Structure 1
Amino acid sequence: MRSSILLSVVLAAMAFQAHAGRSCEQHKPTVQTIERGMQLAERTARALDASGASVVLLARAGQDLSKYGLRYSHLGWAYRTPEGPWRVAHKLNECGTAVAAVYRQGLGEFFLDDLWRYEAVWAVPAPEVQQRLLPLLQDRARTTALHQRPYSMVSYAWGTRYQQSNQWALETLAAAMEPASVHTRTQAQAWLRFKGYEPTALAIGPLARLGGRMTAANIAFDDHPNDKRFADRIETVTVDSALAWLQRAQLAGAPQVLGGF
């Protein structure tokens, strides 16, 4: 029975071509990587059940970003369904393209990728934040209200030309917290600024920028202000900055880490 389940998951992985927070290089999943991903998903589900939360910010490590001082690459909003299982709403780039879409997946699919490090991290939002997020996440129209298809992996945190995955998640949080006044991405970003969010400033030089833009459709820098871009200062939304800000702003508790296998 377990082998048939693994086979179906492998076939799904081979067919699925949307990614975020990891390389777009095509690697056929192996039984070992599938098993490790499923083990991480199962252990994460048990930990989230034990937390008593209904919504958490959940992240994974799909790429090695250590040269930028970052540990995690991609986040989404995980929520408990009325039936019990957890689902993750997150934005994924269609590999090899400059567009993305919002998906709802189970924990197994979320950790299905050939991850750089088999580790999960999550933060439990404050009760009021969970109460505001849950109905939004259960409503497909509200979940995608601030979604924008044009995508860049390093989109400017305070811009609206592109929108990367972590950026969508924080802007959606703003819409959940202030539904009467946040209807656009600009308004969402104003709320994030007001609450003290600070994006990560990546040091990316001109040669790296040129190489990235010429070789990958999902990387663009033309939305960044010239003064910051030419100073090699690329400000974008990262998992690490989001986790630190949520705790600092008392919107969520300290990050919880599950890994070591």
Structure 2
Amino acid sequence: MRRLLMCLAWLLCLPLVAHAGNDCREQQLPPAKVAAAAETALRAVAALEQMDAPVALVARVGTDLSRHGLVYSHAGFVVRDHAQGRWTVVHLLNECGSDRSGLYAQGLVNFFSDDLINQDLRIVWFKPDIARRLATRLQQMPRHGLHHPHYNLIARPGSRDYQNSTAWLVEMIASAIADKPIYDRTAAYAFARGDGFLPETIHVPYTQRVLGGLFTANVDFTDHPIATRLSGDYPVVTVRSIFRYLDRAGHTEHVQEWRNGHLMSVPGPA
């Protein structure tokens, strides 16, 4: 049965071409990478089916962030019984390296097929009341989606002018945690800060910005004040900062993580 499911997943995802989030050149993933993504997707589905929860947070390793001490670079909400399928990932993606973004609904195989560094995986389940409210909100999208289409990879947390994938996650989570629904991005981030969310500080030296070619359409340092740009210490919303927030604030119900295909004990956020 497991082999059959992997074969079906492989067949469904074989014609993989340009995803949002890269430069949109047509490309087809090697069968081995598609098979690895299918195996990770099956692993995730098995764990999700064991928990009676309508939504969870699922994280992947798309970029090597080890120089910043980080593991997971991207995350999304995996929604049960979504219009697109039993377990569908809803997440924000940069569109082809431009300054724009969109909200996407993808199957788990596609989510783990996006030319990742590895197939490590972490799933975080929310407390039941939060999960219920968040799932309802996600099922209603794009209505009340708290999406700002102007993308900035290094968006300042709470920025009115820019948003990235992790900032969107925090704002959506806050909108579900609050006792009353929040339909404004600024109010959502303010609630998260008041509830204990703290962004991470990422150091980007000026020389790296200039010589490292970081001036691209999807990166805008001017979203941050001059003092931040001079110091090179940028506050950003990372996947780890989201994990830490949920854990500290008591919003986490359960966590599972796999490294190199093996289920691990979870000592803390990564």
TM-score by length of structure 1 reads 0.89
Contact 1:121 1:257 in 2 (8 A): yes
Q: Please state if 1:255 is matched with 2:255.
A: yes
Whole-angstrom distance in 1 between the partners of 2:228 and 2:255: 30
Contact 1:125 1:252 in 2 (8 A): yes
Measured after TM superposition, the shift of residue 3 of structure 1 is 6.1
The Cα offsets for residues 123-169 of structure 1, whole Å up to 9 and x where unpaired, read as 1101111111111111123352x100110111111212210001111
The Cα offsets for residues 70-110 of structure 1, whole Å up to 9 and x where unpaired, read as 10000111111179721111001111211010011111111
What is the one-letter code of the residue matched to 2:53? A
Counterparts of 1:62-211 in structure 2 under 5 Å?
Answer: 62-81=62-81, 85-142=86-143, 144=145, 146-178=146-178, 180=180, 182-210=182-210, 211=212
Whole-angstrom distance in 2 between the partners of 1:69 and 1:45: 28
Whole-angstrom distance in 1 between the partners of 2:10 and 2:99: 31
Instruction: For residue 52 of structure 1, give the secondary structure of its aligned residue in structure 2.
Output: coil
Instruction: For residue 143 of structure 2, give the secondary structure of its aligned residue in structure 1.
Output: helix
Whole-angstrom distance in 2 between the partners of 1:59 and 1:143: 23
Contact 2:99 2:150 in 1 (8 A): yes
What is the one-letter code of the residue matched to 2:206? P
Other-structure match for 1:38: 38
Other-structure match for 2:264: none
What is the one-letter code of the residue matched to 1:17? H
TM-score by length of structure 2 reads 0.87
Whole-angstrom distance in 2 between the partners of 1:101 and 1:65: 23
What is the one-letter code of the residue matched to 1:155? A
What is the one-letter code of the residue matched to 2:237? V
The structure, 1 or 2, with the larger RCO (C-alpha pairs under 8 Å, 6+ apart) is 1
Over the residues paired in the alignment, what is the CA RMSD in angstroms?
A: 2.2
Instruction: For residue 81 of structure 1, give the secondary structure of its aligned residue in structure 2.
Output: strand
Measured after TM superposition, the shift of residue 50 of structure 1 is 1.1
Other-structure match for 2:227: 227
Measured after TM superposition, the shift of residue 234 of structure 1 is 0.8
Q: What percent identity do the matched residue pairs reach?
A: 32
Contact 1:243 1:255 in 2 (8 A): no
Measured after TM superposition, the shift of residue 187 of structure 1 is 0.6
The Cα offsets for residues 155-193 of structure 1, whole Å up to 9 and x where unpaired, read as 111212210001111101122233746222111111011
What is the one-letter code of the residue matched to 1:78? V
Whole-angstrom distance in 1 between the partners of 2:253 and 2:232: 33
Instruction: For residue 142 of structure 2, give the secondary structure of its aligned residue in structure 1.
Output: helix
- Gapped regions of structure 2 (runs ≥ 5): 262-270
Whole-angstrom distance in 2 between the partners of 1:58 and 1:143: 21
Instruction: For residue 119 of structure 2, give the secondary structure of its aligned residue in structure 1.
Output: strand
Other-structure match for 1:6: 10
What is the one-letter code of the residue matched to 1:248? R
Whole-angstrom distance in 2 between the partners of 1:86 and 1:7: 18
Tell me the number of residue pairs that the alignment of Structure 1 and Structure 2 aligns. Answer: 254
Whole-angstrom distance in 2 between the partners of 1:141 and 1:3: 33
Whole-angstrom distance in 2 between the partners of 1:189 and 1:212: 30
Contact 1:79 1:87 in 2 (8 A): yes
Measured after TM superposition, the shift of residue 252 of structure 1 is 1.1
Contact 1:154 1:236 in 2 (8 A): yes
Other-structure match for 1:49: 49
Contact 1:246 1:253 in 2 (8 A): no
